[in-house]
Amino acid sequence: MQFHLDGFRAGDPTIEPANTATDALQGDTLPSEVDVLIVGNGPAGLTLAAQLAAFPNIKTRIVDQKDGPMELGQADGIACRTIEMFNAFGFAERVLKEAYWVNEVSFWKPDPADRSKIARTDTIQDTEDGLSEFPHVILNQARVHDFYLDVMRNAPNRLEPDYSRQVIDVAIDPKAGTKSSPSHPVTVTLERTDPDHAGQRETVRARYVVGCDGARSAVRKSLGRELRGDSAHQAWGVMDVLCVTDFPDIRKKATIHSANEGNVLIIPREGGYLVRLYVELDKLAEGERVASRNITSDHLIAAAQRILHPYTLDVKEIAWWSVYEIGQRLCEKFDNLNGEASATRIPNVFIAGDACHTHSPKAGQGMNVSMQDTFNLGWKLAGVLEGRIKPEILHSYSEERQAIAKELIDFDGKFAKMFSARPNEDGTTDSNGVDPKEFQKYFIQQGRFTAGTATRYTPSILTGPDTHQDLAKGFVIGMRFHSAPVVRLSDAKPVHLGHCAKADGRWRLYAFASKEDRGQPGSGIHALCDFLQNAPISPMAKFNRNGEDPDSVVDVQAIFQQPHRSLAIEAMPKLLLPRKGKYGLTDYEKIYCPDLKSGADIFDLRSIDRDHGCMVLVRPDQYISHVLPLDAYGQLSAFLSNILIAQN
């Protein structure tokens, strides 16, 4: 963690100095104009708000119809990829300290000797080795909200949600998204619901509005969009309980298929005692809704007890419970434009999370995918508002995330169907049943998907072709930057290379040196640094504003193959030791070497061409945009010129 760049500050370094500019800090009432209005204080909305809070000059407000912060959330599964994202926001360690770590999964099916009982068939590792440096964990959604809220209130603008606000109307100016558009083309009317201001209406004009307001989204409805999909007509119950049981795997994630009583998914919770039970209930008739069943918590407990036979379950306390109907629904587009308008206009209203895709909770993807939606959108909005990114890039949000949501819907439909199916006996072929071995096989096959690491964006203006992919086979273009251990040259500290990237809207250019390259004149790294520092077409020359730090837009970091003690930091190119801030202090955290002491050589781990080296360009949301040869200066500049706006 770096701080003191612009002068010594005592105290907690995560608390930024307050922005004292006129009306930068919020009051109790909403302003008449904002840059971004976020509707919905759930995981998607808070991810976006926390990211935009990193930009003091962007005026952001987030509203929610609830009367205060969430105290107990429904979502609890946090994928490996999501922890990687949390690290960019600075609170991964807090999550890991509190959370339950999902290390193993056990599988249970009817005991062949007595099918009225269940028996363990196998126990497997939850995520494969090397998939991520972070684990799959379980933590109350409300705590995730708390961490995001801390990021927001510690940001320069001291951003806090405005609660007790219900959206009444969202109106988009007919000229929105065109060259003749008003500066704030979206008008949102809200009604206050708190006792002291009940019935009062507020009107906010915004440059952009993002609806993160759930499956009944008012923002989505204002766009005339619908969630379309199918229901499985299957009712499930879920409850967080404190219980006494002799079931041996109560502190492991466990999938249980009984012969005739239904199925249960067990998810241990944080704290050592709490456990979540997903309990299969009766199938619903065509057109029947789960609410009509009048299911009580006693029904859930009794069903769980029958399924767990011969083991006992004595529920002492229920912290939370609910019933739901399995269904998968998807919106056809995640912004306000349709048809030809998409080719001639820029979107101004977006939807994210449950507002545009819903699915069953058992695969643990809802909260994770929702947060990735707005992590994708946040840096794009910030770049456009700051005049650094071409507005056309905003089209890519719906294009990229709708395709990912479609993959999720397809996966979840198959996963939920297999989980709800009756287990076939050995040798039977019931078309409506499932072989528990096949379910386990599918679970293992989809491990990367559920870990959040399988996302891959297709070639586009933001994702280059795989022409030079062989230079770094482990850094797959379109997929997230898979971090690896390195040693920082300046102080010999072992770190993870990907952890150097924060949610600050900057691009990262990782330059991997060839085997004889020590940064000396004439080497590939030295020549690249010379180009970046001096060439007129360099990204630093084109996209940095006068007086900005060299790494304000593209943060360049070099990784050498030699042990750190064999390199001389004083001989490195000046670009890798940039002078920054008001005092011109030297940034010593740009040069890395393999972590040979632990045997984890990043060049081997990520299959980097040792003879030639390469450049790996990573966009602000940690996904790889391009892999290029070290001397592909023109290609690098041309690629970024399609995205970024020249400043000089």
Cα-based angle 548, 554, 556 (whole degrees, multiple of 5): 110
Tell me which residue of 589, 393, 582 sits closest to 508, measured CA to CA: 589
**What type of residue sits at position 301?**
I
Measure CA of the first residue to CA of the last residue in the chain; give whole Å. Answer: 31
- Helix%, strand%, coil% for the chain, nearest 5: 25, 25, 45
Contact 203/33 with Cβ under 8 angstroms?
no
The Cα 84–Cα 131 span in angstroms is 12
The Cα 561–Cα 614 span in angstroms is 12
**What type of residue sits at position 120?**
R
* Residue 310 preceded by cis peptide, ω within 30: yes
Name residues whose C-beta falls within 8 Å of residue 152's C-beta, 6 or more positions apart in sequence: 46, 49, 50, 53, 158, 159, 160
What values do phi and psi take at 479, rounded to 5? -105, 170
**What type of residue sits at position 346?**
I
Q: In Å, what is the CA distance from 204 to each residue of 24, 37, 52, 129, 158? A: 16, 8, 18, 49, 20
Radius of gyration of the chain (CA): 26
- What the block records as the tokens of 201 is 């209406």
* 389: β partners: 644
Contact 377/352 with Cβ under 8 angstroms?
yes
**566 DSSP 8-state letter:** G
The Cα 508–Cα 101 span in angstroms is 30
The Cα 523–Cα 576 span in angstroms is 14
Tell me which residue of 276, 279, 280, 265 sits closest to 242, measured CA to CA: 276
**Which residues are known catalytic residues?**
76, 269, 278, 361
What string of DSSP letters covers 51-67? HHTT-TTS-EEEE-SSS
What region, left, alpha or beta, does residue 273 occupy, with left being phi > 0 and alpha being psi -120 to 50 degrees? alpha
3-class DSSP state for residue 43? helix
The Cα 375–Cα 367 span in angstroms is 12
Tell me which residue of 620, 621, 614, 612 sits closest to 636, measured CA to CA: 614
The Cα 300–Cα 285 span in angstroms is 19
- What the block records as the tokens of 2 is 């770096």
Q: In Å, what is the CA distance from 345 to each residue of 144, 222, 257, 386, 606? A: 36, 18, 52, 19, 40
